[in-house]
Amino acid sequence: MTRIDCRQMAGDTVAQSEQVRLAYESLVKQGYVVLDHVIDPGTAEKLHREFLARYHNHLQDSELPGTLKVGNKRYLMAIDLAGGFADCAIYANPVVVAIARMALDENAILESFGAVVSLPGAEQQHIHRDGMPLFDSAISPMLPAHALTLAMPLVDMNERQGSTALWPGSHRWRERNEEVAPLAPDVPAGSCMLWDFRLFHSGTANRSERPRPMIYATFARRWYQDPANFTKKGLQRLSFTPQFLDGVPEDLRSLFYHVFRHE
């Protein structure tokens, strides 16, 4: 299992660091990487409290206008880029962005941002890829990544509360090999996972008594827009105010190129 310790990574040298290079190589070869200590656990706990206060009405086993059921007792939703979630260390963590720009290109965008919530008693999710192949099954596995998924838990991901099972190398498969066993890493709050959109994966069961919210983000090449997961009316890819956009740092504004282009 490839895990990268992100402590002591800061400033202008992040993109040129050995850790980012190793993370990129893992994405190319294995289709995933676990990034430890990308944010302080105390920050993750504050975000967890903010999420529960802001979205407590969403913690029910029913699909609301702004949510999408993605499995048994499991829902996807947008998160407003406000409060603690408007911190660029969260929606555009410098380590994550450096890896995304290396794996995709310097003009990568933040295509969507939200949360996936696994409620208590949620069963194992169906095994899936985050998007359909771009082309036929012979060509698509040979191509470089066109999109990446970030999963940043707000509570520890483990055997009891649930994690995400990954099939290493499956971004290069034409179809799923049922004889290959997955990995289901423990990922503490403050750490995260990053995987190729083509990687087979599945959320594991939540055997605890509390919801397991996980921040997710999709980073993509500028020309790509997820065609499958946002067909439901009212389900947002990104949620923000004009004031948020005004405050986006200059070096991160390209992440919102698709938004600024239509202003």
User: What are 13-34's pLDDT values in tens digits?
Assistant: 899 999 999 999 999 999 999 9
Give the number of other Cβ atoms within 10 Å of residue 227's Cβ: 9
* Residue 98: both structure tokens together: 């450096």
Helices marked H in 30-124: 41-54, 88-91, 94-103
> Please, what is the Cα angle at 32 between 86 and 220, to 5 degrees?
50
| pLDDT band, very low/low/confident/very high, at 263 (cuts 50, 70, 90) | low
Question: What's the rounded Cα separation, in Å, for the pair 82 and 243?
Answer: 10
**Contact (CB, 8 A) for 212 and 155:** yes
Tell me, what's the pLDDT at 216? Answer: 98
Query: pTM of the full predicted structure?
Result: 0.95
| pLDDT band, very low/low/confident/very high, at 75 (cuts 50, 70, 90) | very high
* Residue 148: both structure tokens together: 């990446």
| 261 pLDDT more than 90 | no
Quick one: average pLDDT of 74-94?
97
For the chain, the average pLDDT equals 95
Quick one: average pLDDT of 47-75?
96
Strand partners, 239: 80
Question: What's the rounded Cα separation, in Å, for the pair 119 and 151?
Answer: 16
| 204 pLDDT more than 90 | yes
Question: 3-260 adopts what CATH topology?
Answer: Jelly Rolls (2.60.120)
H or E, element range at 260 = helix 257-260
In the chain, domain spans: 3-260
Quick one: average pLDDT of 65-71?
95
| 262 pLDDT more than 70 | no
| pLDDT band, very low/low/confident/very high, at 182 (cuts 50, 70, 90) | very high
DSSP 8-state code for residue 122: P
| 202 pLDDT more than 80 | yes
% of the chain beyond a pLDDT of 70: 99
User: CB within 8 A of 94, min separation 6: which ones?
Assistant: 9, 10, 14
> Please, what is the Cα angle at 210 between 167 and 154, to 5 degrees?
60
CA distances from 58 to 55, 108, 136 (A): 5, 30, 38
* Residue 253: both structure tokens together: 């504004």
